[in-house]
């Protein structure tokens, strides 16, 4: 994946002001609340989860945690997540993307 002039080959988290490299989550299906803490530390309104080449659903407790915190969670394949992140960022939204690199 390319961000600006930088190539990233491992799973990562990106916000408007930082890139968290070498994010080492379990599989998307096993992703739990603690795995997204680096993304939540940026205090976003929306978290976009890119699950790789295909859409995969994480555990229900992750979705419940996000709802409890009032944070939107959008789950999609990684290419769609990248496009959505760029649109929301361009709109000035408080967004972070947690991306599984295919």
| Interval 36-66: pLDDT, tens | 999 999 999 999 999 999 999 988 888 888 8
What is the pTM (predicted TM-score) of this model? Answer: 0.93
Task: Quote the pLDDT of residue 60.
Answer: 82
- Domain tally, the chain: 1
What CA–CA distance (Å, rounded) separates 94 from 75? 16
| Interval 6-43: pLDDT, tens | 899 999 999 999 999 989 999 999 998 889 999 999 99
Cβ-based neighbours of 84, under 8 Å, separated by 6 or more: 48, 74, 76
Unique residue bearing structure tokens 């990248």: 82
Can you tell me whether residue 81 is helix, strand or coil? helix
Contact call for residues 33 and 87 (beta carbons, < 8 A): no
Tell me whether residue 72 is exposed, middle or buried, using C-beta atoms within 10 angstroms of its C-beta: 0 to 12, 13 to 18, 19 or more: middle
Using the predicted structure, report yes or no on whether residue 85 has a pLDDT greater than 90: yes
Q: 58 lies in which domain range?
A: 2-99
């Amino acid at each position: 994946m390319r961000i600006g002039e930088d190539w990233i080959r491992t799973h990562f988290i990106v916000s408007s002001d930082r890139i968290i490299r070498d994010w080492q989550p379990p599989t998307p299906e096993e992703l739990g609340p603690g795995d997204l803490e680096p993304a939540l530390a940026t205090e976003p309104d929306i978290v976009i989860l890119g699950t790789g080449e295909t859409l995969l659903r994480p555990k229900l407790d992750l979705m419940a945690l996000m709802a409890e915190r009032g944070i939107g969670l959008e789950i999609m394949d990684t290419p769609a997540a990248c496009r959505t992140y760029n649109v929301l960022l361009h709109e000035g939204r408080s967004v972070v993307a947690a991306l599984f690199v295919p």
